[in-house]
A and B are shown apart, each in its own frame.
Chain A
Amino acid sequence: MRIPAPNSVKKLKKKIKDKELQLTETEERNRRAAESARLKSEFLAKMSHELRTPLNAIIGFAELIQSEKIGALNNEQQEYLGDILVSSKYLLQLIDDVLDLSKIEAGRLEFRPEEVDVAQLVKDVVNVLEGLREKKKLYLTTSIDKESQRAFIYPSRFKQIIYNYLSNAIKFTPEYGSIEVRIISDKDNLRLEVEDNGIGIKEEDLNKLFIEFNQLDSLISKKYPGTGLGLSLTKHIVEAQGGNVGVKSTFGKGSVFYAVLPKKC
């Protein structure tokens, strides 16, 4: 056996010590990062509560007046009250979306998959958006293939995905346009597609979608107001379940947004 020179032993010892120091530093950094993520998510939860409390009163009183239980309203009053309600509900949506995003970042978004009737979920979302569709006289069809009738997924998040795509399609499709919601699947994956013949997206803009607060340009966001969070949330929700999202589009002709989810996630 060769005995190392005392010098090199010293060197080795120092090397080990340095490595140990580095490790504790990394551990400390990780601990701090986790702590700051926790604080941020706590802060957002508290803030969401603080914002919801006054909104609760605004929406509640506006609905009470709208119900005409206090007294009859003329058409103009009804209209402005409707404006108050639309704006406050939009604000509420924004708060919910921001909270969802913060939960995703903190890895605290929950998924509780169960066996679901896919057609029913699609129907639920279509019903919620019926008023908006009707207003623009859009032609909406849905098709669900045989393989997709039942799936083991988390229903409320799946509805959120359909809702985000479909409400976008309704928003960006001119009057009398058409939209199709399709669900096609194979053995392993469920594929949702929402196709419209609306304004479409320029090729150079395709990669800007699905990013927070990134509505394509200020002109578009003025004409089509939105929170700028819908698509990014959709991407996070789908990816957190092991799926993926994407879009195909021809500018001026329309778009197809899709989401692929494992049937058993």
Chain B
Amino acid sequence: MSKKPILIVEDNPINLKLVQVLLSKEGYEVKVATDAEEALIILKDFHPVIILMDIQLPGMNGLQLTRMLKKNPLTKDILILALTAYAMKGDEEKALSAGCDNYITKPIDIRNLVNMVAQYVKKK
């Protein structure tokens, strides 16, 4: 079976590394971007089944990037899981209304993340 491609967009390098290591160990093909612009460049020739999207990014934020990708016919079918560290009410709703398919609250529970990604990959 070929490795399923996943893109992670996250601006904090250590948190990015954590998710990258976790998912690589699970056997996915993982690419990473630290901001929206970099993500858009990678997406030109990389077609992930899932994007793990940090909401708070420098410049264009994760919600804006999600809206943009969901409008584009080439990228609208990619599943987007928001990574939210916001504990204030309403942020999960914001992520969902921007078009994210689901969200994971930080700190990430390893098993939870791996299970959720596996579940969504299976759906595809």
Interface residue count on the A side (C-beta < 8 Å):
22
Does B15 count as interface, using CB distance less than 8 angstroms?
yes
Tell me the complex Cα distance, A54–B106, Å.
10
Known A60-B22, A64-B18, A64-B22; contact A55-B107, beta-carbon cutoff 8 A: yes
Does A49 count as interface, using CB distance less than 8 angstroms?
yes
| B65-113 with Cβ < 8 A to chain A | 85-89, 106-108, 110
Q: Evaluate contact between B87 and A48: CB separation under 8 angstroms.
A: yes
| Category for how many chain B residues contact A | 10 to 19
Q: Evaluate contact between A49 and B15: CB separation under 8 angstroms.
A: no
| B40-59 with Cβ < 8 A to chain A | 56
Give the dominant DSSP class at A's interface.
helix
Tell me the complex Cα distance, A130–B15, Å.
31
Tell me the complex Cα distance, A67–B89, Å.
32
Tell me the complex Cα distance, A57–B107, Å.
8
Taking CB atoms, residues of chain B closer than 8 Å to A108 are 89
Does B25 count as interface, using CB distance less than 8 angstroms?
yes
- Which chain A residue lies CB-closest to B83? A56
Known A49-B56, A56-B15, A60-B18; contact A96-B110, beta-carbon cutoff 8 A: no
Neighbour of A45 across the interface among B56, B87, B107, CB < 8 A: B87
- Which chain B residue lies CB-closest to A48? B87
Q: Evaluate contact between B87 and A60: CB separation under 8 angstroms.
A: no
Tell me the complex Cα distance, A15–B21, Å.
74
Neighbour of A60 across the interface among B85, B86, B107, CB < 8 A: B107
By Cβ-Cβ distance, the 6 closest A-B pairs, closest first, are A56-B107, A45-B88, A60-B18, A56-B106, A57-B14, A52-B85
Can you sample 20 A-B contacts with CB below 8 Å?
A45-B86, A45-B88, A48-B87, A49-B86, A52-B87, A53-B85, A53-B106, A54-B14, A56-B15, A56-B106, A56-B108, A57-B12, A57-B14, A57-B15, A60-B110, A64-B21, A92-B107, A99-B87, A103-B89, A108-B89
Q: What is B's interface to A at a CB cutoff of 8 Å?
A: 12, 14-15, 18-19, 21-22, 25, 56, 85-89, 106-108, 110
